[in-house]
């Protein structure tokens, strides 16, 4: 079956969706994106994704010509057209600066290219919630607070992690740990939950934000503080977050066990709270 995609106002088969070779997303990686997860046709935390999209666009100087209501309609329609409203799905919204013929510095009147794709969630994603391993990386990500199309450091980091038999790589700044290539990181010393602050140069992850709110509601003491490699190595438990894998226990770093090498008490509690939240969101929207 040919997947249906959204391209600049039209819904069409993926093999008919043609983007100019002069599009700045292709020539310079000049664009932004959001990755979302839907639960049975309902997109979770859409308001937060929209908020970050606006922030990224403003930082990059990209004009958004669609409002939230219009965009929401497109997102919901792409799920329906691909017949993935009764399962969990992966959605990606990509916005490039637009088509420009060879100029490094873009003209101001460019019309952004907007692409939306959606597909059923890969079954292996659920395995991540049982636990994964990670390895330290040396190079930091570029423009961390913007979901830029230029993901070369992240791609190279994931490839490096794969060579070391790990599922994720952790960006570092000397001895300071920052975030994963596609995740934010949390650690616990057995007393409280800790995560690097945004000012350290990390992406303000949507799931990270949700987890911080859930922890507060659950009475879990949480602090945003710079973390070192030793903090992670000596942690009682740790986990990684993003919109697709939700909360994934981090069992090993550099192939050495973290804590008891299994999902910890706080991790399990927050996983359960997150599942309740997504289920409640689905129930509320269906009323």
User: What is the pLDDT confidence band of residue 287, given thresholds at 50, 70 and 90?
Assistant: very low
Residues 64-74: what's their mean pLDDT?
93
For 126-280, CATH gives 3.20.10.10
Residue 222 to residue 213: CA distance in whole angstroms: 10
Quote the percentage of the chain above a pLDDT of 70: 96
Residue 94 to residue 25: CA distance in whole angstroms: 9
CA atoms within 13 A on the CB side of 23: 19
pLDDT at position 140:
66
pLDDT at position 119:
96
The pLDDT tens digits for 184-194 are 999 999 889 99
φ, ψ of residue 110 in degrees (nearest 5): -65, 145
The pLDDT tens digits for 109-166 are 899 999 999 999 998 898 999 999 999 997 766 777 788 888 888 999 999 999 999 9
Top CATH class of 4-121 equals alpha beta
The residue ranges of every structural domain in the chain are 4-121, 126-280
Residue 256 to residue 232: CA distance in whole angstroms: 11
CB 48 within 8 A of CB 88: no
Could you tell me how far CA 62 lies from the centroid of its own chain?
20
Burial of 168 (C-beta count, 10 Å sphere; 0-12/13-18/19+): buried
Global confidence as pTM: 0.91
Task: Reply yes or no on whether the pLDDT at 283 is more than 70.
Answer: no
pLDDT at position 282:
60
The pLDDT tens digits for 216-229 are 999 999 999 999 99
Structure tokens at 168: 């994720």
Residue 262, SS3?
Answer: coil
Residues 96-116: what's their mean pLDDT?
90
């Amino acid at each position: 079956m040919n997947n249906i995609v959204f391209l600049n106002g039209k819904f069409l088969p993926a093999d008919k969706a043609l983007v100019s070779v002069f599009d700045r997303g292709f020539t310079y990686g000049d664009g932004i994106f959001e990755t979302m997860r839907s639960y049975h046709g309902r997109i979770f935390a859409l308001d937060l994704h929209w908020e970050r999209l606006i922030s990224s666009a403003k930082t990059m100087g990209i004009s958004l010509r669609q409002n939230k209501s219009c965009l929401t309609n497109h997102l919901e329609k792409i799920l329906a057209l691909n017949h993935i409203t009764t399962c969990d799905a992966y959605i990606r919204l990509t916005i490039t600066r637009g088509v420009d013929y060879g100029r490094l510095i873009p003209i101001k009147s460019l019309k952004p290219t907007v692409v939306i794709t959606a597909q059923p969630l890969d079954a292996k994603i659920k395995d991540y919630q049982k636990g994964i391993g990670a390895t330290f990386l040396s190079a930091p990500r570029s423009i961390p607070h913007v979901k830029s199309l230029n993901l070369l450091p992240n791609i190279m980091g994931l490839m490096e992690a794969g060579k070391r038999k790990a599922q994720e790589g952790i960006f570092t700044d000397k001895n300071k740990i920052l975030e994963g290539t596609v995740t934010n990181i949390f650690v616990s010393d057995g007393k409280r939950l800790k995560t690097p602050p945004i000012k350290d140069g990390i992406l303000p992850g949507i799931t990270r934000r949700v987890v911080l709110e859930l922890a507060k509601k659950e009475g879990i003491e949480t602090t945003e503080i710079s973390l070192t490699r030793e903090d992670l190595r000596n942690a009682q438990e740790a986990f990684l977050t993003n919109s697709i894998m939700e909360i994934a226990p981090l069992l090993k770093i550099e192939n050495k066990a973290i804590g008891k090498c299994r999902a910890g008490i706080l991790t399990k509690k927050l996983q359960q709270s997150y599942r309740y939240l997504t289920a409640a969101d689905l129930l509320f929207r269906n009323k």
